[in-house]
Amino acid sequence: MSKSAQLITTVLSSKKIVAVYCRVSTTEQAEEGYSIEEQERLLIKYCEDNGYAVFKVYSDRGISGKSIKARPAMKEMLRDADDKKFDMVITWKINRIARNTLELLQIVDLLEKNNIAFKSYSENFETETPMGKFSLQMMGAVGELERGTIAQNVKMGMLARAREGRWNGNVVIGYDLKPIENSTNKKRKDTELVINPKEAEVVRTIFKMYSEGNGYKAIAGYLNKYGHTTKRGNSFAVSSVKDILNNPVYIGKIRYNVLQNWSEKRRKHKNPNPILVDGIHEPIIEQELWDKVQNLLESSKGKPSRIYDGEFPLTGILRCPECGAGMVIMRSTRTKKDGTKRRLEYYCCGNWKNRGTAVCHSNAIRADKANEYVFGKLSELLSNDKLV
């Protein structure tokens, strides 16, 4: 090795190697005005000014700090920490690392087990000293208290708006969101629902078709056939039709607080008594039609669910050869010449089953034949000595 190469190696090995972590959610950037690029610039400059060598910049863009699982850059950084690829982690503020004290301390503890220090640029402390560790715990607890208080105040404000008949949700088909002039809300612009005539006709068609005996799939297929789309520009599915038929916003009502726990993303733990009040917006559906549809929906609840016996391990694994969607199970009953009936299961295109022939075709394949073929091939591969 040349003398110059030895000198460079010596200099680099003497420098503290630092991992830079940055995160900002879309909402935070819009409300607070700090971008992830600005975080990166400040932290890289800080490292240069203090003689640190930046190992890598880990950035989670447009991602909430509620959970590590949803942050790919954070997970990558923690894997590299386990491999001891750097000596310190630096971030702009401690709330970039975690939104609650327990998770923050767990991350810092993992770093410390690998002899990696943690430093906050804005709060000006690091965990290499006992006082720094104490400051971290105190500031994490205070930050969590502040966030909890803000969240509670926001929820109370939204509950008050709902009780006044004002819309709190995002865009919904059939309506547009119109900003309210002279709004007093500083953090969030108050909006109201105004009817979108073209979309309102689609909503009326859905209610009318269901009241005439058409099912979810038939309605979705009809809408897709004639080129109608959801508010987000997607084709209609069984779930989107069902959601529209169950939404009282279309008769001029406001329903709120269906999920009491805001962190629940899945539709579990529903509030049995959500807020339901008269809204200040104009209804799209008449009460008589709404009542008829709700009675039909209620009567259909008594029908047995289509639960398929047996196992169908290739569900979602097999892909539709036409559109690439996951294949799902369907059942068909055939009557033999002697009058006996035989039930057959098929893997069919999930898009076709949920959205109709305007989106794709069934492309069905017998489930027993598909299972036999796939697992036969797997057995051949596993018994091949060259591959094992």
Q: What positions carry a catalytic annotation?
A: 25
Q: Report CA torsion sign: 31, 32, 37, 40.
A: negative
Nearest one of 302, 290, 303, 301 to 210, comparing CA atoms:
290
Phi, psi dihedral angles at 374 (to 5 degrees): -65, -45
Amino acid sitting at position 330: M
DSSP state of 250: G
The C-alpha torsion from 265 through 267 and 270 to 274, rounded to 10°, is: 80
Both structure tokens of 113: 């087990």
Query: Cα–Cα distance between 109 and 99 in angstroms, integer?
Result: 16
The C-alpha torsion from 143 through 147 and 148 to 153, rounded to 10°, is: 140
DSSP calls for 16-43: PEEEEEEEE-HHHHHHH---HHHHHHHH
